[in-house]
Chain A
Amino acid sequence: MSESVLEVKDLNAFYGRAHVLQDVAFTVDERPVAIIGRNGMGKSTLCQVIMGMLTSARGSVRFRGQELMGKPPYRIAREGLGFVPQGRRLFPSLSTDEHLQIIPRRGNGGWTPKRVYETFPRLAARKSTGAAQLSGGEQQMLAIGRALLTNPKLLIMDEPSEGLAPNIVESVIDTISTLAGQGVGLLVVEQNLGVATALAERQLVMVAGRIAAETTAKELIGNIDAQRRFLGVEPLAPRRSS
């Protein structure tokens, strides 16, 4: 077992009176990790809390020994956490190229807009296109490229396959796997079991605001009962449009 990069402990979060995260605890090391679970289980909230975007949370999030709780999002990003949010959250007022220009240059991971365009040639052809005019796949690439420019040591991805056509999902999986192979850590939150198991061997199951179980991709793929139990979906069903 290699040392942990991200260490989450006793994490609790509330929306009003709803207790959406309940004593969440887990660690992430260099290996990719997927957090799976149905809608409304607190997965996206967890991402937001780690990134410091939700301030009504208590507990501890340590990244490479540094406590992140209480820090503003921009400091957390500068510690080396890259965020690809659910729904991509591109800026409709900005063109593709402007998305890449606003990211402050710092750290030495070597990501530049040029390298993003080399990684995603389709974006290079659409530099001056408004983000809202991009296709779903292009938007996802831009969201990933934008996060890479912060030179993250760990990439947090919330539902990267959401709203994408199956063939685009394949190419997104390829891209993310390549990045993970280049030494970028990966914490991916997914409802789509096919995507989650393709990206990470370690699988954490989130149910009603808790990490209910830890399993592996191998175990899940073979175990239809477990899939039903944890996700309540038909086993490895093709992505449903939600």
Chain B
Amino acid sequence: MSSRLDVRIVPRAFLVLPGLAVVAWIAYKGSQDAQIFWIVTLNGLTLAALFFVVAAGFTLIFGLMRVVNMAHGSLYLLAGYIAFTLQGSWYGVSGNLLSGTPATVTSWVVPMIIAIIVIGAAGVLMQQVFLRWNQGQDLRQALITIAISVILADQMVAHFGGIAESIQQPATWPDSVSLLGVRYGFFRLVVVVGAALAIGAVLFLVIKRTRFGMIIRAGVDDRSMVSALGVNIQLVFAGAFFIGALLAGLAGVLGGTMIAVQPGNDSAFLLDSLIVVIIGGMGSLGGAAIGSIALGLVNSYADVYLKFGGTDLTNYAILLTFVLVVAVLAVRPLGLFGRPA
């Protein structure tokens, strides 16, 4: 018993000092230029909002069905490509500054809606065709979804090419807004953060207040018991997979407008989702929010502040992400809000 306690206490104590050092370093660098610090912080928070939309879907699917959907990033990227293609072929929108047609609200919203519905349906199809008959077989499901993601990645390169594209935001929306003395991108700050907050609130209410949400919570606790009470859990699984995939799709369109649509986004955002839910705890919505903020801020601070005098270590920023994971897992092996399965 006591030896077990020791194991836990040692890393905790060791983590305090580096943690304080990191905070002190960021505070020191930040105090040198408050404006840059504020912009870097906003970069981190807006990135966190995008992470949250992707990871909320990922954690919902995992929490209920114990399916680690390794194709979640592929759904994200495919949605971006669908919206991008529709914007071009239906509305003639292009990013070309000289000859392009600027986007309108309609030519941004309609492709987005179609993309997320298609991706939601694709998620359900994937679950029904490939995953349903492997329920409870974690490894098989992981391998199947990895296979799907590899196939989709190649197909997307074949059809959409390897060049980074971007979905055009409506030209009628402002480019930037003022916030506490800095000008910051309107789409990132208002649309993406707004979408993340709205999704967080809606998911929270659905899970807390509706019968569907209660069944999801019960299913996360003990799904075979839910079924033994006469609830068609398969229908609930399909519904949850639809919502989860739909959120990946929505994030894909938001990310494709905010950053870019390009090969590699699929694995990058899958990795980000995994990190977010490992930090936050698998299956927890609040955990996904905290995990997203932690990951967004670490990414963004590390990109700028990982410079010590003349030594520029910003290339190693990605490593800090994993330091974050290690630190969280050392203290809480199931993530911040994780519960044993």
Binding site for B on A (CB under 8 A): 51-53, 72-74, 76-78, 83, 85, 89, 91-94, 98-99, 101-104, 106, 146-147, 149-150
Contacts and interface: CB of A to CB of B under 8 A. Distances in A.
Nearest to B210: A101
Interface string B223-263: 01111111111100000000000000000000000000000
A98 B228 contact: no
A104 B230 contact: yes
Given A94-B217, A94-B218, A102-B215, A89 B229 contact: no
A103 B225 contact: no
A99 to B, nearest CB: 8
Contact of B217 (A51, A93, A150): A93
A104 B234 CA distance: 14
Contacts of B234: 72
A99 B215 CA distance: 9
Interface residues of B, number: 19
Q: Which of A52, A103, A106, A146 has the most CB of B within 10 A?
A: A103
In the A-B complex, list the 8 residue pairs whose CB atoms are closest, starting with the nearest. Answer: A77-B230, A73-B227, A93-B217, A91-B218, A91-B221, A73-B228, A89-B225, A150-B230
B340 to A, nearest CB: 11
B217 A103 contact: no
A98 B214 contact: yes
Given A102-B211, A102-B229, A93 B218 contact: yes
Contact of A93 (B220, B224, B231): B220
B281 to A, nearest CB: 13
Given A89-B222, A101-B214, A102-B215, A150 B227 contact: no
Say what secondary structure dominates the interface of chain B: helix
Interface of B: 211, 214-215, 217-218, 220-222, 224-234
A94 B216 CA distance: 10
A74 B215 CA distance: 13
B222 to A, nearest CB: 6
Contacts of B221: 91-94
Contacts of A53: 224, 227-228
Contacts of A103: 229-231
Contacts of A85: 225, 228
Contact of B227 (A72, A93, A146, A147): A72
A146 B220 contact: no
Contacts of A73: 224, 227-228
Contacts of B227: 52-53, 72-74, 77
* Interface-central residue, B217, B220, B233, by most chain A CB under 10 Å: B217
